[in-house]
Amino acid sequence: MTTTNSTHFVLSANINGERLEFLADERDSLLEALRERAGIRGPKEGCNNGNCGACSVLIEGVLVNSCLVMAAECQDANITTVEGLASPEGLSPLQQCFLEEAALQCGICTPGFLVASTALLEENPHPTEEEARFWLAGNLCRCTGYDKIIRAVLKAADQKDA
């Protein structure tokens, strides 16, 4: 088999509800394709090996690390990044709770936490603190010490009652 340095293909996917088509390379991870090809820079590259969760996105509603998915796997997929959480009317309730609880400092981990927490509340609208911490164990934050993030997530869950 011959390999070349560049094997471009057209990636066509629904990203945050919008049909996008753009050139990507067969060697690109989904994270690289989103950031460098499509200009969607919400997902962050932290560790690039599945430990930190900064690149968390949803594929068909399922939480994944976009650094551990090849872009070529995502042909025709439905992908949600942090950019897809807010609506034109404003922040999502979860994002608002992150603001109110000061659940971020430097912000690098925040897109991943928001996407992962959105998936949590979708799956389990009223998690216990332990369930929230277990679900978010794959998202690392080196600033907040997690307590504020967990408070924000549980607050957003509480508001779902109202």
Partner 1 sequence: MQALKYARASSVDEAVQMLRDGGPNAKVLAGGTDIIVLARERRRKVELFVDIKHIAEVMALEYDATKGLTVGSATPLYRVYNDANILKHFPALTQSAHVIGGTAIQGRASLGGNLANSGPAGDSITAMMALNGTALIAGPGGRREVKIDEFCTGPGQNVLQAGEFIVSLHFPHPAAHSGSAWERFIPRNEMDIAVANSGTYLVLDGDVVTEARIALGAVGPKVFMVPVDSLVGKPLTDETIAAAGQAAKATATPIDDMRGSIKQRLHLSDILTQRTIRAAAERARA
Residues that bind partner 1 (CB under 8 A): 1, 3-7, 26-29, 32, 48-50, 53, 56, 59, 62-65, 67-70, 72-73, 75, 116, 119-120, 133-139
* Least Å from the CB of residue 88 to partner 1: 28
Question: Considering the complex, what minimum distance in angstroms separates the CB of residue 35 from partner 1?
Answer: 14
Q: Give which of 51, 62, 156 is closest to 109, Cα–Cα.
A: 51
Q: Nearer to partner 1 by C-beta: 64 or 152?
A: 64
Residue whose tokens read 């009223």: 126
Beta partners for residue 79, in sequence order:
15, 59
Q: Residue 103 or 116: which CB sits closer to partner 1?
A: 116
Q: Which is nearer to partner 1, 47 or 99 (CB)?
A: 47
**At CA 32, angle to CA 28 and CA 33, rounded to 5?**
75
**Which residue, 132 or 156, is less far from partner 1 as judged by CB?**
132
Look at strands 62-65 and 56-59 and give their pairing. antiparallel
* Residue among 58, 67, 77 at smallest CA distance from 120: 58
